[in-house]
Structure 1
Amino acid sequence: MELRHLKYFLAVAEELNFTKAAEKLCISQPPLSRQIIELETEIGARLFHRNNKKVILTEAGKYFEKEVTALFQDLEQITIKTKKIAQNVSGEFSIAYISSIYSGVISELIQHLKAAFPYVSFKLFEISTTKQISALELGKIDLGIIRSPVKSPKIKSQLWFQDGFSVVYNKKLIQITTEEEISDLKEETFVFFNKDYAPHYHEVLLELCAFYGFTPKVVHESNNINSIVQLVKNGLGISIVPSNIARNNSDPEIGFIELKKVNLFTDVSLITSKGDESEITKSAINFLLNFPKK
């Protein structure tokens, strides 16, 4: 069965006259009759009752007309949507980000993209770096925001910014005010990211503690930076978080001390599939690269 068979059928069903349908289709009547017979033979059902006086649809023909008409309507919508996707004005665009990215910039990014591409459905996913890499390799996301490094031949990585580190603590429970006092925290309990969830980040935190002369007693673990900060606020320990979080947190019960003496940073990168040249991706990356760093 080919598309032309369906078009010929609809023409005859509309005109209920083979001669008029043939004229409408700009073909002669005998080929049109043969095409309808071929269609009926393939389906295994008579679609028309016809004689020298009139042509009418059978019950099977009425059902087939209804379904084929709906099929062509769907096909038209598919064609329109495909064209829009090709023009980067429709479809879906999935963005993944790590929890330690300030949510305000994510919100502004989506607002920017929705204004530029109003027909696009934007989806957000808060997932770890390792899962983002896997998702991007499988084509499940279009843009990722991770903490480097990333090693994949299928992925293009671009540095967004370098982030420092800050100790976060409950002001009521911990009495420190300067970086020089960080070494006094060696007896305190710590809240860290799970090693399996963010292995590179976990190793960096251990290096930071070693720089200040102690090995942290990690008692609690979480896979979400906001949960870590909340655990600290609740008095379950102290932690070390990206300075980006510290700069965007104004909770009066929580204190932050930036670790300026140690020369350790974490790279926050934007990742896309190699070869992705879509206008949406370009617009998203350009917005983020020009977003003011607080």
Structure 2
Amino acid sequence: MELRHLKYFMAVAEELNFTKASEKLFISQPPLSRQIAELEDELQAKLFIRNNKKVELTEAGKYFEKEVIELFQNLERISIKTKKIAENVSGEFRIAYISSIYSSIISDLIKHLKSQFPYVNFKLFEISTTKQIDALEQGKIEMGIIRSPIQSPKIKSHLWFKDGFSLVYNKKSVQIKSENEIANLKDETFVFFNKDYAPHYHEVLLELCAFYGFTPQIIHEANNINSIVQLVKNGLGISIVPSNVAKNNQDPEIGFIELKKVNLKTDVSIITSKEDESEITKSAVDFLLMKNNSR
């Protein structure tokens, strides 16, 4: 049994007339009758009652018609999915992000993309800016969220938002009420990002402390913003974190003071390959940019 047998059968079943069915299929009537006879022989069942006046489906023919309709519907579904795969809307899409980006926006992004591209397997990686750039250049990820600057001829950068800085401290361990008192913290223990992990960010934090007139005593280092905040919460020091982190942390044991006097901000950017023109990438970037505009 071949697909053409089923197509010929369906044409006759719909027209209930061999002449009209042959015209619809652009073949002559004798070959059509021959194909139907072959199908009936293979099934060992009569599908049509034929006489000089009319053509009717037998009970077996009616059942076969119902099943063939469902079969063709499944074939159409398979064809659509195959086309989607060919159009790069199936497979895997890898997104990297820095730890200071709050998880809710990443969750919203994945929900949005899954609704549009249900066949895609989305993977998330929390990676530093430097490693993200390398991974994107090597084709190991499709999109990244980093803290600029970035210099790469292979990467396209979209500014997502500008982020300021805030002091974070344990309310029980450190007594401070305003930005004017920050210089008094020069003898406090600081928790910073590791210099090798995030060199640019590390330098920015040193610059911030210099603005307030002191060099920080960096005793503890971490490679994750959540780890830094947890160390502060445990009373192991104070730190300076992106204001974006402060806005999304409601822990009553932790205090934040935004550093408004210093005009220093970092660019949080979305990075993609310059050669990437896929619909998934465009949808992801557009969603994040739209989300930021509505904040």
Whether these two folds match at TM > 0.5 is yes
Please state how far the C-alpha of 1:82 moved relative to its aligned partner: 6.2
Structure 2 match to 1:205: 205
> 5 Å matches for 1:97-108?
97-108=97-108
Number of residue pairs matched by the alignment: 217
> 5 Å matches for 1:12-23?
none
Please state how far the C-alpha of 1:81 moved relative to its aligned partner: 6.7
Structure 2 match to 1:226: 226
Distance 2:192 2:160 in 1: 24
Aligned AA for 2:184? Answer: D
Matched, 1:140 2:140: yes
Which TM-score applies when normalising by structure 2?
0.71
Aligned AA for 1:110? Answer: I
> 5 Å matches for 1:149-164?
149-164=149-164
Matched, 1:253 2:253: yes
Which runs of 5 or more residues in structure 1 are unaligned? 1-77
Cα offsets for 1:44-91 (capped at 9, x unmatched): xxxxxxxxxxxxxxxxxxxxxxxxxxxxxxxxxx99876323334311
Structure 1 match to 2:170: 170
How well do the aligned residues superpose, as a CA RMSD in angstroms?
1.6
Partner SS state of residue 136, structure 2: helix
Instruction: Confirm or deny: 8 A CA contact 1:88 1:117 kept in the other structure.
Output: no
Distance 1:211 1:138 in 2: 38
Matched, 1:125 2:121: no
Identity of aligned residues (%): 80
Structure 1 match to 2:181: 181
Please state how far the C-alpha of 1:158 moved relative to its aligned partner: 1.1
Distance 1:254 1:193 in 2: 19
Please state how far the C-alpha of 1:177 moved relative to its aligned partner: 1.4
Please state how far the C-alpha of 1:221 moved relative to its aligned partner: 0.2
Distance 2:79 2:116 in 1: 22
Distance 2:85 2:192 in 1: 42
Aligned AA for 2:99? Answer: S
Cα offsets for 1:206-247 (capped at 9, x unmatched): 000000000000000000000000000000000000000000
Aligned AA for 2:162? Answer: Q
Cα offsets for 1:250-270 (capped at 9, x unmatched): 000000000001000011000
Distance 2:139 2:82 in 1: 18
> In terms of mean alpha carbon deviation, does 246-255 or 79-88 score higher?
79-88
Which TM-score applies when normalising by structure 1?
0.72
Structure 2 match to 1:282: 282
Distance 1:197 1:113 in 2: 30
Structure 1 match to 2:6: none
Which runs of 5 or more residues in structure 2 are unaligned? 1-77
Distance 1:185 1:94 in 2: 41
Partner SS state of residue 187, structure 1: coil
Structure 1 match to 2:84: 84
Structure 2 match to 1:20: none
Distance 1:273 1:89 in 2: 17
Aligned AA for 1:260? Answer: K
